[in-house]
Amino acid sequence: MTKVDFLKANFYHVKRIVTGCLMLALLLLACVTNAEEVAKRKITRIAGDLYRFQNKFHFSVFLVTPEGIIVTDPINSDAAQWLKAELVKRFNQPVKYLIYSHDHVDHIAGGEVFADSAVVVAHENARVNIIGEKRPTAIPDITFSDQMTIELGGKTVELTYVGRGHSDNMIVMRFPAERVLFAVDFIPVKAVAWKNMTDAYIPDWMDAIKLVETMNFDILVPGHGPIGTKADASAFRGYMETLYDEVLRAARDGKSLQEMKESIRLDQYKNWHLYEKFISLNIEGMYNQIKLHRRGN
């Protein structure tokens, strides 16, 4: 059989395989798209009466009590309206408190949706930034400097300012009975930092994580991505410290930012989410911070 005869004889077979593969690829694509659609907005239970609310790539938590609900980051106006309707449907309880993790707009827009019944709480620096930056959300009614405890319907959430790190107004929310800590943006779980770490304070950021490591909890709930444990907080601090050490050493060796981007590889973290995508930007963010604080003479 010549090559041409062989190809002719097998043409329909090959065509069927190609068509089959194409169908499978389309089916997989449809599944992925569908999964993303389904995951767009979701409520899942974390522990006891503490739930996690997802809106695309953003997450917050809420605690249901017999005297009302404590809601955290509203994310945006549409998301907050969806959540508010779900809370009425599922629990038939008013929202009594709304707590902001920090002032960044992608987490706290839409607070006005809950402000009709809720007391809005945030760190004192968050209030200043929310007003100054004209964030499209409700202005906090109550602020605090170091710590605040909210009790409602026999349940408790402890709010602690973690100092500067990712922004100057980040708080964590600890739910002692549920052994959960809600910490947004400054402790990703098995993921590198976001882009070039704008609004960051370094090395204060590592101190903020050290403070979290002293707290009593088991479950770490971030504002993005999967849930983790306290060990994930230590692991992320390790990442930040390694990145800091590497960039500082390179700066002291007189390397340019471009040379750092080409030479610094943190292979032990290469399987973390967003490593390939953001390692260059993480190096750049760290470089900008280190450059600011190194002596010029």
* CB 275 to Zn ion: min, Å: 20
DSSP assignment letter at 76: S
* CB 148 to Zn ion: min, Å: 20
Residue nearest Zn ion (C-beta atom): 104
Of 68 and 111, CB closest to Zn ion: 111
* CB 167 to Zn ion: min, Å: 6
The correct pick among 104, 190, 230, 237 for binding Zn ion (CB under 5 A) is: 104
- Please give the Cα distance from 60 to 108 (Å, whole number): 10
Binding piece for Zn ion, criterion CB under 5 A, among 70-78, 103-111, 125-133, 228-236: 103-111
- Is 73 a binding residue for Zn ion by CB under 5 A? The answer is no
β-bridge partners, 119:
97
Binding piece for Zn ion, criterion CB under 5 A, among 77-85, 115-123, 178-186, 242-250: 178-186
* CB 187 to Zn ion: min, Å: 12
Of 68 and 222, CB closest to Zn ion: 222
* CB 185 to Zn ion: min, Å: 4
Beta-sheet pairing, 228-229 with 171-175: unpaired
User: Sign of the CA dihedral 105, 211, 59, 289?
Assistant: positive
* CB 209 to Zn ion: min, Å: 15
- Please give the Cα distance from 65 to 7 (Å, whole number): 71
Report CA 181 to chain centroid distance, whole Å: 13
Binding piece for Zn ion, criterion CB under 5 A, among 32-40, 66-74, 85-93, 100-108: 100-108
User: Buried b vs exposed e over 97-131: b needs ≥16 C-beta within 10 Å?
Assistant: bbbbbbbbbebbbbbbbbbeebbbbbbebbbbbbe
**If binding means CB under 5 A, how many residues of this protein chain bind Zn ion?**
2
Beta-sheet pairing, 50-55 with 58-65: antiparallel
* CB 40 to Zn ion: min, Å: 21
- Please give the Cα distance from 36 to 287 (Å, whole number): 35
Of 149 and 198, CB closest to Zn ion: 198
Of 86 and 199, CB closest to Zn ion: 199
> Which residues, numbered 185-204, are part of the site for Zn ion (CB under 5 A)?
185
Residue whose structure tokens are 């979701």: 42
- Please give the Cα distance from 168 to 98 (Å, whole number): 20
Binding piece for Zn ion, criterion CB under 5 A, among 28-36, 130-138, 143-151, 184-192: 184-192
- Is 135 a binding residue for Zn ion by CB under 5 A? The answer is no
Radius of gyration of the chain (CA): 24
Of 55 and 65, CB closest to Zn ion: 55
**29-32 long-range CB contacts below 8 Å, 24 or more apart?**
none
The footprint of Zn ion (CB under 5 A) covers: 104, 185
